[in-house]
Structure 1
Amino acid sequence: MDSILNFIKLEESDGLLLYWLKEILIAVVVFAFFYALARLLRYILITWGPRFTSFTKTDLDDRILLRITPPASFLVVCAGLYYAVRTLPLPEKAHLLASGLLFIIIVVILTNIAYRVTDELLNWYASRLSEQVSNGLNRQLIPLVEKLISIFLIGTALIITLKHFNYDILSLVTALGIGSLAIGMAAKDTLANMISGFTLMIDRPFRIGDRIQLTGGQLGDVIDIGLRSTKIKTMDNTFLIIPNSELCNTILINMAFPDVRAKGRINLGVAYGSDIEAVKKLLVDTAMEIPDVLRDPAPEGYFVSFGESALNMALFFWVENYTNVFSVTDRINSLIVKRFQENGINIPYPTRTVLVEKD
């Protein structure tokens, strides 16, 4: 009887051993298949990928392919290991622990691949933007977009992981929504300035280095466009710090748009009886004597109106850069006084004639 029992136990142990060997063999075959698939994918991406990307005009696809090749092949290996573990008849806790750990690794790899692709896209866009306009926009905008994308990818990976382990993410999302609402209500002014700053970076009504004039008459050069405020350096070398929400809701003049050329104007009056055509020609010739005055478009002189004591004239001229308007105006004014004196043209003072009648 004992020998029969021993024989039965031996048969059961042999059957169990064969069963485990069979399951392990299946797991090894599954893993070997995915490992070979990973090697094939790596070979295709390294050998054949550049041949297809060479047909494009940019190097963006080459850079993306170079960065995703290592994690993509590693992802296939981890996927094979994940399915191989799932085929093994492990205890429930060990099975959940092993498969759960591999699932987390796979989610991390996928998140890393997505981040690498978006990072290359943003770097490529920033390089193109800096070639077109060197105004520091990529220094302001690209890091902000990278942070927002990173937060989104991490949040998505966390939600997928929690969902895989059957955690109730609805309560988490609800709590995050209520918390975000409370924070938004408490910091609405700060958030308004941040959103306005993001709008200024996208819409670009002005750029760093542009000279702008506000409705209040303040004039200055834009030094920095931050998330909360914009810094403007005025003509008297002081900093004007304005919240972005105010700049988004106000009317301003951008003197550097559409280009940095600027138009100057000089108003003056000549005595009644002066030769108007000669005065206009003299104004234009005087402006042409200044080297910084553009020849195209050429200066123009106009007879504007009849004044109480003088004939009102105007001289319009263009300079290459708006920063030169004041200095060029000063030089033209000084030369006009000299030329008028040489040609006998008077700039009259306002006069009044008072008649006194006696009874």
Structure 2
Amino acid sequence: MTEFIEAYKPLIIYVAIVISSVIILRLLTKFIVKWLIKKESNRLPESPVRSMKMVKLTLNLLWLVLGIIALSAIFVDRDKDEVLLGYFKLASYIGIVTVVTIISATLCNLWFKHRISEKVTHDFDPTTYKFLRYISVFAICFIGLLFVLMAFPSLKGVAQTALGGAGVLALIAGVASQEALSNLVGGIFIVSFKPFKIGDVIKITDTMVGTVTDITLRHTVIRNFENKMIVIPNAVINKEKLINYDLGELKCCEHIEMGITYDSDITLAKKILQQECENHPLIYDNRTALDKSDGKPIVKTALTKFNDSSITIRAWAWSSSFGNSFTLKCDVYESAKKRFDSEGIGLAFPTRTIYMANEKRSENEA
């Protein structure tokens, strides 16, 4: 045993140094990352814990790969040392670029979050910063990937062309689908021309109504009034005709329609509907000074349609916002129904009259 140790003493020392170095580096990485997470958590409530864990995982993997490459030098011929040294440099380069990319993307993301928070605090529109955050983080990750590709001779030309400027768009067009590019361009158009912004209440269809919560590179997220998230691709929403309830004036005119029977008192029904609208606390007086001097009512009512089994009367009720108009409509339906019942005005519903004819049997039928 003593002879074996003496014969292979340099190799044993080399192996011990390599293993010890890997263990020390992993422990040091764990300690530093834990210290940084604790420090940042005290300073920032939204500390990048996930990013720091990714850095820790990347570094631990790097130390392990470098240790395996260093140990493999024992089992190969000395003429292969250059090859192992090349692998060692390649692994180190990829690991360092990955760590720098993660840290850069994290810092960029934190800076944009800080700016967005300032905008929200001062009641400014944060839409542009939110969209630019996605573009910036994507650009940093994309450039980091290109630098990694440059480490491989077969892909170096592609990476250099892409980093040259015009090649970026060509590379994206080559690997991305037309739909993905349409969504990206659609997102840029939305942020640039601002048909809506984050926080606006928009209506695309009857089933897609809600508040815009986010605009990403690919899609727009809307929170509907059932607290469900609707994800719509930017290319789709960019082509649709939509209603933005927060664009320009916020006041909203709600059509409140009720169908009454043909034998009901139309004048009384219109008066009741008008009174219930005008007595509601959310009603908005949209009359001009001339309308007021002429004595026009706050809420206009009219008979708008003759149906098969009902007459439709409508009230044009204004409110200060879209949300108030919905509440106003629901409340007026309930209060008007109670008044109609007490005043003897019937709400119509579809009816059918069926006439039964008895066929006389033929006298010749047995």
TM-score (norm 2): 0.50
Question: 2:259, 2:312 within 8 Å by CA — same for their partners in 1?
Answer: yes
Give runs of aligned pairs for residues 149-164 of structure 1, distance below 5 A.
Answer: none
Alignment pair present for 1:258 and 2:248: yes
Alignment pair present for 1:347 and 2:356: no
> How much does 1:232 deviate?
0.9
* d(CA) in 2 for partners of 1:182, 1:134: 36
Instruction: Encode CA deviations 1:29-58: one digit per residue, 9 max, x unaligned.
Output: xxxxxxxxxxxxxxxxxxxxxxxxxxxxxx
Identify the residue that residue 332 of structure 2 maps to in structure 1: 332
Q: Which 5+ residue runs of structure 2 have no aligned equivalent? A: 1-115, 138-159, 288-297, 361-366
> How much does 1:200 deviate?
0.5
* d(CA) in 1 for partners of 2:258, 2:162: 70
* d(CA) in 2 for partners of 1:332, 1:173: 62
Identify the residue that residue 319 of structure 2 maps to in structure 1: 319
The count of aligned residue pairs is: 212
Identify the residue that residue 175 of structure 2 maps to in structure 1: 186
Question: 2:135, 2:217 within 8 Å by CA — same for their partners in 1?
Answer: no
Identify the residue that residue 309 of structure 1 maps to in structure 2: 309
Q: Secondary structure at the match of 1:283?
A: helix
> How much does 1:286 deviate?
1.3
> Which stretch of the first structure deviates more once superposed, 202-211 or 183-192?
183-192
Q: Secondary structure at the match of 2:301?
A: strand
Q: How many percent identity over aligned positions?
A: 24
Q: Secondary structure at the match of 2:318?
A: strand
Q: Secondary structure at the match of 1:184?
A: helix
Q: Secondary structure at the match of 2:174?
A: helix
Give runs of aligned pairs for residues 119-158 of structure 1, distance below 5 A.
Answer: 134-140=124-130
* d(CA) in 2 for partners of 1:290, 1:333: 11
Q: In 2 relative to 1, CA 342–137 (structure 1 residues): closer, same or farther, beyond 3 Å?
A: same
Q: Which 5+ residue runs of structure 1 have no aligned equivalent? A: 1-125, 148-170
Letter in 1 for 2:333: N
> How much does 1:233 deviate?
0.7
Of the candidates 200, 204, 212, which is equivalent to residue 222 of structure 1? 212
Instruction: Encode CA deviations 1:197-232: one digit per residue, 9 max, x unaligned.
Output: 121111111111111222473111100122332111
* d(CA) in 2 for partners of 1:175, 1:145: 19
Q: In 2 relative to 1, CA 340–176 (structure 1 residues): closer, same or farther, beyond 3 Å?
A: closer
* d(CA) in 2 for partners of 1:203, 1:132: 22
Alignment pair present for 1:210 and 2:225: no
The alignment yields a C-alpha RMSD, in angstroms, of 3.5
Letter in 2 for 1:318: W
Letter in 1 for 2:332: I
Larger Rg: 1
Question: 1:210, 1:254 within 8 Å by CA — same for their partners in 2?
Answer: yes
TM-score (norm 1): 0.51
Q: In 2 relative to 1, CA 350–257 (structure 1 residues): closer, same or farther, beyond 3 Å?
A: same
> How much does 1:303 deviate?
0.4
Alignment pair present for 1:200 and 2:190: yes
* d(CA) in 2 for partners of 1:174, 1:257: 41
